Structure 1
Amino acid sequence: MGIQQTMQRFARWHIWLGWLVGVPILMWTISGLVMVAQPIETVRGDHLRADPALIETAGLVFPTRIGTARSISLVNQVDGPAWIVTEEDGGQYRYSATDGTLIPPVIEDEARRIALAAYAGDAALETITYFPSDVVPGDLRLPTASWQAHFADGTNIYIHNSTGQLLAVRSSWWRVYDFMWGLHIMDLQTREDTSHPVLIIFALLGVIGSLLGCVLMFRRRKAKVRVKAQGQD
């Protein structure tokens, strides 16, 4: 097979691959552009998080009847400092750092106060909603019982039901970013699988199409130089 015939075959393959991977390439480009339009700190909602108050450690009481623990941390909450205890089975509980007693799960009034203290924006708090662990909001995707505080600017603040800790801050821009990320990795369901056959196949086809285009580009350039030289003769 001559070089000319090989190039013609490459050209046909390049065209067909262009039709096949054109839409995914456009989707990757647009989604990538949207994802880099804002700094990642803005996407994460760092500007909407209020800085926690410092903890005065004098007089703190450590809980003594907690059994075996995987980790223990000291945090400052709206009602004072607390110990967050993660047990061996992964369960989390909180204990008062002033008297060592177990603090019950968060109720609506406390969730409201936690959200207002954690939020650094200017919008009004509109709703407080409880979500059990088997009903997970789309912009949280953590199998944990939580409270959602929804603000008028579209911000959702999620609070751990057992510990009162801040689970996530989800702004309107975060949800746009999250959708574009799902498009980018071709996983709109979990938006976590970055290595699945569909993505790998289309990426591989895109690479092959690009390589064919590079080969054809240099071949056509050589052909133009040859025609120009013949014209001068």
Structure 2
Amino acid sequence: MSVLPLVFTSGWASGINAYAVVLLLGIFGATGLTDEVPESLQRTDVLIVAGVLFLCEAVADKIPYVDSVWDSVHTVVRPVAGAVVAALLAGQSGSIPELAAGAVGGTTALLSHFVKAGTRMAINTSPEPFSNIAMSTAEDLGVAGIITFALFNPEVAAIIAAVLLLLGLVILVVLARSIRRFLRRRAQRREERRLAATEARRVPPY
């Protein structure tokens, strides 16, 4: 059976929460629920690191503006993680070349990451924190649900992931104005901090 649907779905999920994907796949493989997961993802040290980083993301991802900084840092991390997980899954099954799987997983992860990061920028234009918490929780549950579903129904899960990715890209285009407003506001705050620091250096101590 081709592992491509699982590769695509894991790539989409990695763009949202790469640590959750590694953690879930590792746990499912280690507990014997599936034989699709390579042993390298089932190692205890990998599971511990993924678990700690998942907890860090779970906290940072729910704090306004901190989530956008976290997303910026993970612009490289998530696509790379998606590509690595995809290549490992392909190597486990042997049904498609690892390089091709890595390209699919990495590209899908990058697109879903842009959707996640852009949506958060739009949400951060609102002053209240509850929308961040709700969105982050929904994303975590979504990743857990679709990765679990993909291990047993990979084709259907891949279709769901593709639809969600397409909808996310459409929403991102719709929210473009809010995202630009967020970026201008962040640039303005950065400039204000720079000017304040410059002014503080000019004022002689008493």
TM-score by length of structure 1 reads: 0.30
- Which gives a bigger RCO, structure 1 or 2 (Cα 8 Å, sep 6+)? 2
Rg bigger for which structure?
Answer: 1
Higher strand share: 1
TM-score by length of structure 2 reads: 0.33
